[in-house]
Amino acid sequence: MSLAHSVHKRRGLVLAVLAGALLTSACGLKPEVKDQLKAGGGAVGAGTTGGVDAGTTGAIDAGTTGGAGTTTGTIAGGTSGTSGGSGTSGTISGGTSGTTGTTGSGGGTSTTGGPANAPVQGQGTTTGIDFEKKTIKIILHGPLTGAGVPQESFRTGGPKYWEKSGPNGGPRLIGGFRVIAEAVDDKYNAQDALRACNAAAKTAFLIMGGAGTDQIQACGQSQVLRRGNVPYLSAGVTETGLGSVSNYFATSLTYKQQSPLVIRAAREQGYLNKKWAIVITGTPNFADARESMTAELKKAGVQGKAGPFGDGDIYLTEKTPRDCSDVGIKLRSGGYETVYFLGQPLFFGQCVAQWPSATYTGPGPSFGIQSVADLACRGGASQYHAYYLHPAPDKAASQIEARKFAKDTPDFTDDIESGIWGGMQGLEQAFNLVKGPLSRESFIAALAAAGVPGGVTNPAVYNGGSRFGGTGAYLNKITCNADKGVIKTIANYKK
């Protein structure tokens, strides 16, 4: 890079702050604007993407059963369940907030003993549903390769639920339809994730995010997903740019929501009043986690390297492998006793290898805690010990919970499988919320107006107007036993 360019960059920094402010406000604005655009496009008849289109068809079809199909979607609430369903699809595609949606699906719930939630051809967007084979395809994206901890379990977790956890170890059906859960590779980076998600939007009914904040955020903000009304569910990660996305649902607590719980865990487990450091990936998607955690630490009055915890105790890491050893060395030379770590598993291993004697802690969507723990235990000479939050309890506890719900659940191989299994359990509950014919629109409307009780995972609630619906997280204690990580759930924290 030329000198001239780096000088230019510095000057740009000031402008960038302004531009950044503009960007954030633009981000807030954009969805609305885009949605209005999209609704307009739909009315003109832009094929499958037009939510309004779908609504109209729905209403006309509903005429045969409901008779009141001619009533407009929003008023249809009380009159007929089916047209209520179609009404929601209209409002969801048109509006952004959940308020009108609630009215619509209120109509849905009023239909007692209505038709099962089986999809019906021509009623709403039913991409990914094969009416001949009677299957619903859903796609889960996760790091099958790349710097995350790629795991076979990303592939097997979904089928384990849908194919093997039904009665007598058979499939679990949604309105008589089998669910085909496929995993696609996001290579642990946002670019490939978005590529995969946009492709998946054309073949799958809905998409779920496995792990990885940047990847989930990129897919959550996808225009293709939003225009296609593709329901997108993920573990809670960042809140940046996802708050106003009409088709997005976080199924567990976001990092920001978990910050107070991290403090609570530290207080109860007795490592709060130690020297703290925050090690976090330097991406804007972790800004909310970083800021909330910093605020919480300052509020709790904890110590940093020298004196009260301050900005000098926050270490940003990047994708450069070199950085992580450096950060590890700094943690050691700074004498930190507790480290809040949020970042790539690969780097975590490097950090721990340099400074294994600190207590590591942090929030968790993180699937793969077992393999990360194994890595850290080997690299850190078995001194590694940590407290991490996680959407699901440890493997054994998850197994018990799962069998309460579906007694023929096969054994889980690791925490990724149990986590995905728990996610699928919530998904089935969400499918069952839909009272009319299942479509992408009716699914989003039904879920947005309610929540799911969970089972393996804590309940998720969306009718409060927020899509970050997680309500609790499990605290896991991680220790080493001869190079192997041992994970034990010690508490279930409610928000």
Give the DSSP H/E element, type plus range, for residue 461: strand 460-461
Q: Scanning residues 22 to 61, which ones bind other proteins (CB under 8 A)?
A: 22-23, 37, 41
- How far is residue 83's CA from residue 139's CA, in Å, rounded to a whole number? 29
| Alpha helices, DSSP H, located in 301-342 | 321-334
For other proteins, which stretch binds (CB under 8 A), given 19-27, 109-117, 129-137, 474-482? 19-27
Among 125, 151, 399, 442, binds other proteins (CB under 8 A): 151
Among 36, 72, 99, 145, binds other proteins (CB under 8 A): 145
Contact flag: residue 410 with other proteins (CB under 8 A): no
Residue 431 CB neighbour total at 10 angstroms: 24
Q: Among 448, 374, 441, which residue's Cα sits nearest to residue 122?
A: 441
Among 325, 357, 432, 471, binds other proteins (CB under 8 A): 325
Contact flag: residue 146 with other proteins (CB under 8 A): yes
Q: Which is nearer to other proteins, 31 or 437 (CB)?
A: 31
In the complex, least distance from residue 482 CB atom to other proteins, rounded to whole angstroms: 13
E strands of 330-449, at which residues?
338-342, 359-362, 385-390
In the complex, least distance from residue 435 CB atom to other proteins, rounded to whole angstroms: 30
Contact flag: residue 465 with other proteins (CB under 8 A): no
Contact flag: residue 222 with other proteins (CB under 8 A): yes
Inter-residue contact 271 to 280 (CB < 8 Å): no
- DSSP secondary-structure letter at 47? G
3-state DSSP assignment of residue 244: coil
Among 70, 72, 97, 223, binds other proteins (CB under 8 A): 223
For other proteins, which stretch binds (CB under 8 A), given 212-220, 272-280, 393-401, 415-423? 212-220
Give residues with Cβ within 8 angstroms of 3, minimum separation 6.
Answer: none
Q: Among 55, 37, 173, which residue's Cα sits nearest to residue 445?
A: 55
In the complex, least distance from residue 144 CB atom to other proteins, rounded to whole angstroms: 6
Among 354, 359, 398, 476, binds other proteins (CB under 8 A): 354
- How far is residue 213's CA from residue 290's CA, in Å, rounded to a whole number? 13
In the complex, least distance from residue 292 CB atom to other proteins, rounded to whole angstroms: 17
Among 323, 401, 414, 417, binds other proteins (CB under 8 A): 323
Contact flag: residue 166 with other proteins (CB under 8 A): no
Contact flag: residue 195 with other proteins (CB under 8 A): yes
Q: Scanning residues 235 to 254, which ones bind other proteins (CB under 8 A)?
A: 240
Angle 369-379/415-433 helices, nearest 10 degrees? 160
Contact flag: residue 413 with other proteins (CB under 8 A): no
Among 31, 104, 114, 148, binds other proteins (CB under 8 A): 148
Residues binding other proteins: what is the number (CB under 8 A)?
83
Contact flag: residue 74 with other proteins (CB under 8 A): no
Q: Which is nearer to other proteins, 486 or 490 (CB)?
A: 486
Residue 430 CB neighbour total at 10 angstroms: 23
Cross-strand pairs, 359: 338, 385
Distance of CA 175 to the CA centre of its chain: 25
- How far is residue 468's CA from residue 464's CA, in Å, rounded to a whole number? 10
What burial letters (b/e) apply to 27-63, b meaning 16+ CB within 10 Å? eeeebeeebeebbebbeeeeebbbbbbbbbbbbebbb
Q: Which is nearer to other proteins, 341 or 462 (CB)?
A: 341
For other proteins, which stretch binds (CB under 8 A), given 164-172, 324-332, 411-419, 458-466? 324-332
For other proteins, which stretch binds (CB under 8 A), given 98-106, 146-154, 170-178, 289-297? 146-154
In the complex, least distance from residue 148 CB atom to other proteins, rounded to whole angstroms: 7
Kindly list the distances between the CA atom of residue 26 and the CA atoms of 29, 35, 214, 287, in Å, as whole numbers in the listed order.
5, 14, 19, 18
In the complex, least distance from residue 240 CB atom to other proteins, rounded to whole angstroms: 8
Q: Which is nearer to other proteins, 92 or 190 (CB)?
A: 190
Distance of CA 246 to the CA centre of its chain: 14
Among 36, 70, 97, 203, binds other proteins (CB under 8 A): 203
Q: Nearest 5°: phi and psi at 191?
A: -65, -50
Q: Nearest 5°: phi and psi at 424?
A: -70, -35
Contact flag: residue 316 with other proteins (CB under 8 A): yes
Q: Scanning residues 330 to 349, which ones bind other proteins (CB under 8 A)?
A: 330, 332-335, 345-346, 349
Among 283, 294, 370, 399, binds other proteins (CB under 8 A): 283
Query: x/- string (CB under 8 A) for other proteins, residues 368-387?
Result: ---x--xx--xxxx------
3-state DSSP assignment of residue 241: coil
Q: Which is nearer to other proteins, 120 or 200 (CB)?
A: 200
Give the DSSP H/E element, type plus range, for residue 249: strand 248-250
